[in-house]
Structure 1
Amino acid sequence: MKALQGVEGQVKWVEEPSPTCDVGQIRIRVAAAGLNRADLLQSAGMYPPPPGASQFLGLECSGVVSEVGPGSSWQVGDRVCALLAGGGMAQEVVVDARHALPVPEGLSLAQAAALPEVYSTAWLNLFQLAGLKPGEKVLLHAGASGVGSAAIQLCKAFGSPCWVSVGSAERLAYCQGLGAQGGVLRAEGLEGLKPFGPFDVVLDPVGANYAESNLKLLALDGRWVLIGLMGGRKAELDMALILGKRIQLLGSTLRTRNDQFKADLLSDLNQQVWPLFNEGRLSPQLARAYPMEEAQEAYAELASNQVSGKLVVVIDPSLV
């Protein structure tokens, strides 16, 4: 089978033996795979896969079940999307059966490839870790990203108003179209968010550059969930603000979580979130689907930081 490998910031398709399907696993004939910032970091040699995970790129995919290992309730022919620790950008992938979800009714497999990673990330960090409650205010940095797009829709669906920081007026309008109340352009600074706050939860993929502002913008008993370091890893913090406001700083990653944790997360997602797609209250924000021959162009577009929503690479056009 063909699988996508990252080397020094470039990606290329290589031939690789098909993986074996064991107890509790399913084999998926991959239709499409979603792109994530972690793929960029891995292709640049900055984010190696967890021990035991595939060395190839791709943290989410969609496709059709082609083989079912003992102990799984899936059937050959089922349309699924899956959360992976790696290897989704390949013609086939074998995954823990508990880490697959049914493709929501009415969605294409290209659209479904854009769902598992971002909705898992948004649900885990906002609702499970931060304990977001209806009516609480949320600040989403990089609001037009894949995770941001999912988070805006979830906040709206569960009754929590949200605001965003983004890179352009067009991306701010995009976020407001999804349900954000408003926001600021990062080039103009985060001070413009103050009239909208204080915020109960901040979802932050930026890190150091926004650390001081996050503390000032958070409310009493606020939760700052750090999920990335796009703006650096070292910052000077006023500890008195953390203490006085009783702020919780939560560092969170998903890729390195164990299989049972991911299985529980996907089960919760299936029960609490997936029905909202069928009701039309959530929708995949697929910005563009690239053919597999243009994978390098897809990665370059993601690296430009100009994408609103998600990019996917189509592996098997006969399925999408």
Structure 2
Amino acid sequence: MTLPARMTAIAIRTPGGPEMLVPEERPMPVPGPGEILVKVAAAGVNRPDVRQRQGTYPPPKGATDIPGLEIAGEVAALGADVKRWKLGDKVCALVVGGGYANYCLAYEPHALPVPAGLSMVEAAAIPETFFTCWQNMFMRADVKPGDWVLVHGGTSGIGTTAIMLAKAFGGHVVTTAGSDDKCSVAKKIGADVAVNYKTEDFVEATKKATGGKGANLVVDIVGGDYIDRNYAAAADQGVIAQVSFTGGPKAIANFAVLMQKRLHHTGSTLRPRTVAEKAAIARGLEERVWPLIAAGKIKPVIDSTYPLAKAGDAQARMETSQHIGKIVLTV
């Protein structure tokens, strides 16, 4: 396969609004040892991409400035020492950046086969949220059959994934969403109880659903004043997994509850983690979740697709918070 010397990628002209995302010509990336080059068919859009565009989430040292953290496509070139993949293999991958482009580099162990029965668009919607939810729900916490999981933002990319994973592994789910319509969608995806946070109190609803015990795990993308309420909604020895801070990273909370209930409040970011740490998450997903996707028990929820050149429109859609599930760019 002869590769072009240059490709089209989406650049951030300067920090600012969605209109700052512009297509431009870039040199073709060359895979180093242990890397593969993927001809991108589709790329997922995520909140960190929006924050990078706004200038509040710079890429890690040495990473490309092209946004995009997850892709699906075909292997187009192999770096030295790559053993698992061959040219033409269809893969989806978690990447450190560079997804909004015709071609993108990925580390060999961070790529996984496109699950049977999924389109490239669906496959591109998997890595970022599934890696995040798997490590927070099953590696840092341990969701067991019968556990109650409180998922905030149930119709977001993280939320839809967390609901499906909790249910697939025998858990029960209470989720929050910002409208009655979104609540009914969350229930269709599998939530047992969906709470409109604008009109109902999720602490009360969680206590009621769990017979007063509370949630064994809280998956929180909000932070801010939810932190104190998460402690109130959690069961004894419950885990609060902090995934994001859409409501801000600072809070006033009654930390005595943390002690009284023997809670675990944990959190993690994905992008700066080592190659080996992300590879371990990938292995767990392939072993335990890929068979469920192939069997049709879990399927990523797609909100909308946009052509690569309209990446600004895709991020503008994300910023409205009207989307349900994942927004994906097609290349």
TM-score, length-scaled by structure 2? 0.93
Counterpart position of 2:107? 96
Deviation at 1:5? 2.1
Counterpart position of 2:160? 149
Which aligned segments of 4 or more residues in structure 1 are displaced greater than 4 angstroms? none
Counterpart position of 2:247? 231
Match of 1:127 among 118, 135, 138: 138
Counterpart position of 2:209? 196
Alpha-carbon distance in 2 for matches of 1:267, 1:53: 23
User: Could you report, residue by residue, the CA deviation over 1:73-120 in whole angstroms, capped at 9, with x for unpaired residues?
Assistant: 201001110001111111111111111010011111111110111111
Deviation at 1:239? 1.7
Identity %: 39
Q: Does structure 1 residue 79 correspond to structure 2 residue 90?
A: yes
Asked if 1 retains the 8 angstrom alpha-carbon contact of 2:112 and 2:282, the reply is yes
Counterpart position of 1:289? 305
Match of 1:2 among 8, 13, 19: 8
Alpha-carbon distance in 2 for matches of 1:131, 1:157: 13
Q: Does structure 1 residue 38 correspond to structure 2 residue 38?
A: no
Alpha-carbon distance in 2 for matches of 1:61, 1:243: 42
Alpha-carbon distance in 2 for matches of 1:43, 1:138: 32
Amino acid at match of 1:134: P
Match of 1:206 among 219, 222, 232: 222
Alpha-carbon distance in 2 for matches of 1:69, 1:42: 28
Deviation at 1:293? 2.6
Counterpart position of 1:54? 64
Alpha-carbon distance in 1 for matches of 2:218, 2:54: 28
Match of 2:317 among 301, 304, 308: 301
Asked if 2 retains the 8 angstrom alpha-carbon contact of 1:207 and 1:226, the reply is yes
Match of 2:123 among 112, 117, 120: 112
Q: Does structure 1 residue 221 correspond to structure 2 residue 231?
A: no
Amino acid at match of 1:194: K
TM-score, length-scaled by structure 1? 0.96
Amino acid at match of 1:20: V
Please identify, of 227-236 and 6-15, the stretch whose mean Cα deviation from structure 2 is larger: 6-15
User: Could you report, residue by residue, the CA deviation over 1:58-83 in whole angstroms, capped at 9, with x for unpaired residues?
Assistant: 00001100111222220100111000
Count how many residue pairs are aligned between Structure 1 and Structure 2: 315
Give 3-state SS (helix, strand or coil) of 1:257's partner. coil
Asked if 2 retains the 8 angstrom alpha-carbon contact of 1:183 and 1:193, the reply is no
Deviation at 1:49? 0.9
Counterpart position of 2:191? 180
Asked if 1 retains the 8 angstrom alpha-carbon contact of 2:95 and 2:105, the reply is no
Asked if 1 retains the 8 angstrom alpha-carbon contact of 2:101 and 2:308, the reply is no
Amino acid at match of 2:146: G
Q: Does structure 1 residue 12 correspond to structure 2 residue 28?
A: no
Deviation at 1:9? 2.5
Amino acid at match of 2:149: V
Asked if 1 retains the 8 angstrom alpha-carbon contact of 2:143 and 2:169, the reply is no
Amino acid at match of 1:102: P
Which blocks of at least 5 consecutive residues in structure 1 are unaligned? Answer: 316-320
Amino acid at match of 1:148: G
Q: Does structure 1 residue 24 correspond to structure 2 residue 34?
A: yes
Asked if 2 retains the 8 angstrom alpha-carbon contact of 1:9 and 1:45, the reply is no
Deviation at 1:170? 1.1
Counterpart position of 1:318? none
Amino acid at match of 2:257: L
Which blocks of at least 5 consecutive residues in structure 2 are unaligned? Answer: 1-6
Amino acid at match of 2:208: P
Deviation at 1:193? 3.2
Alpha-carbon distance in 2 for matches of 1:267, 1:223: 23
Asked if 2 retains the 8 angstrom alpha-carbon contact of 1:5 and 1:43, the reply is no
Asked if 1 retains the 8 angstrom alpha-carbon contact of 2:225 and 2:252, the reply is no
Alpha-carbon distance in 2 for matches of 1:278, 1:183: 27
Alpha-carbon distance in 2 for matches of 1:230, 1:140: 14
